[in-house]
Amino acid sequence: QCILRLAEMCRRLETEEEKVLPFYPSLLAEGEQRDAQRVLEETPTEPLAQAMWDYMGLECFWQRFNKAKLEEQALEQERVALSQRNWRLQQLLWQYLAGISITQEMLGRASPT
């Protein structure tokens, strides 16, 4: 009961896009999908299978959670790559500015008076 309420709460917080679009297309053949659906609809008899069946309502939650974690890792990798690129560009900028900067000594030599 608690799990079903949690799944309902999560469902209410989903965006319209999340409610409509599936996560991942199934890689199972049509016959395999039917077999899997039939197994899911059967009430399990073993205690461990019963416990897992009780938590089936959270499947969407865990899919979304894992998807969010993958996106978080991808964004972190992108942040690191952009940080490294930024550092390289800063180094190039400092090299460029060092090459064109005019020192007091150069100003003293350049004046004709």
Residue 34 lies in a domain: no
Q: Which residue has the higher pLDDT, 66 or 20?
A: 66
Residue 70 lies in a domain: no
Residue 93 lies in a domain: yes
Interhelix angle for 59-100 vs 2-12, to 10°?
A: 40
| Res. 73 pLDDT band, cuts 50 70 90 | very high
Residue 102 lies in a domain: yes
For the stretch 2-40, pLDDT in tens is 666 766 777 777 777 666 665 556 667 788 878 877 777
- Give the start-end residues of each E strand in 1-113: none
* DSSP letter for each residue of 26-73: --S-HHHHHHHHHHHHSPP-SHHHHHHHHTGGGHHHHHHHHHHHHHHH
For the stretch 86-103, pLDDT in tens is 999 999 999 888 887 766
Q: Print the domain residue range for 108.
A: 86-112
Residue 59 lies in a domain: no
What is the pTM assigned to this prediction? 0.48
Q: Which residue has the higher pLDDT, 105 or 77?
A: 77
Query: How many domains would you assign to the chain?
Result: 1
